[in-house]
Structure 1
Amino acid sequence: MKKIILPIVAVSALAAATLPAAAMAQQPINQRQAQLEQRIDRGVRNGDLNRQEARRLNGELREVARLEHRYRAGGLNGWERNDLDRRLDRISAQIRYERHDRDYGYGYGRGDRNDHRGRW
């Protein structure tokens, strides 16, 4: 009896653990876009992103939104959904990279008015 129950419990636990990952992949596109916009805004507010980086990232988000609109006009199929997901994944990775590249918008050594390097 134990030999039968133990594998069933293990398979059930594994299935329950993989469900959230699968649900995450099917997150609505508009919700992902909104979350990426919030990450960009947060990065600008706390100085992790400069204005140029934020402008470029927001432009890429607008491109995805335009593409989504075009795709939805003819009905969104699986390939198009995957294409949008890949593009949003790439933008997410770019946000992560830009926020950690130490190319900050403000403060010491970042070209603000109190930076006297290069003026001597």
Structure 2
Amino acid sequence: MQKKILASLAAVAAVSAVAAPAAAQPWGYDRPGYDRHDGWNINQRQERIDRRIDAGLRRGDLTPREADRLRREFWQIARLEQRYRVNGLNPWERQDLDRRFDRLEARLRFERHDDDRRYSYYRY
């Protein structure tokens, strides 16, 4: 019985010895072109948000009014990004854009799941 316990402890120690250094590695947020959204750069993130708005409108998850509002906010952020990029993005500007896109994506998620069409809040 002691041999089984010792063998189990040895196996756990071996796995821990391999996993601990890997867990200590930084995530690499400082890599060029990396933001904290699964490696998407800002342009890829913008394309993804744009496609999600189109898909929500096409499937009926978004009303035309909601889609217009989300698009206006999207283009405001895009214009801000253009102003930031004049002298290159510094870390604060990148974080600011990330926060703004986070809020836009949260609003998009909310609007797509608020069931406006089911309850006939809007007439077309």
Give the TM-score category using the shorter length: 0.7 to 0.9
1:35 is the counterpart of 2:44? no
Distance 1:32 1:103, change over 3 A: same
How far apart, CA to CA, are the structure 2 residues paired with 1:66 and 1:101?
28
How far apart, CA to CA, are the structure 2 residues paired with 1:33 and 1:50?
20
1:66 corresponds to which residue?
Answer: 79
Instruction: Tell me by how many angstroms 1:27 deviates.
Output: 1.9
1:111 is the counterpart of 2:123? yes
State how 1:31-110 maps to structure 2 within 5 Å: 31-104=44-117, 109=120
Amino acid in structure 1 at the alignment position of 2:70: L
Amino acid in structure 1 at the alignment position of 2:16: P
Length-normalised TM-score, structure 2: 0.73
Amino acid in structure 2 at the alignment position of 1:111: R
Instruction: Tell me by how many angstroms 1:41 deviates.
Output: 0.4
Report the count of equivalent residues: 108
Give 4+ residue runs of structure 1 displaced > 6 Å after superposition. Answer: none
Instruction: Tell me by how many angstroms 1:60 deviates.
Output: 0.6
Instruction: Tell me by how many angstroms 1:24 deviates.
Output: 6.0
Q: Choose between structure 1 and 2 for higher RCO, CA contacts under 8 A separated by at least 6 residues.
A: 1
Amino acid in structure 2 at the alignment position of 1:93: A
Q: Which shows bigger deviation, 22-31 or 59-68?
A: 22-31
* Consecutive unaligned residues in structure 2, runs of 5 or more: 1-9
Length-normalised TM-score, structure 1: 0.75
**Identity of matched residues, %:** 47
How far apart, CA to CA, are the structure 2 residues paired with 1:48 and 1:85?
24
CA RMSD of aligned residues (A): 2.8
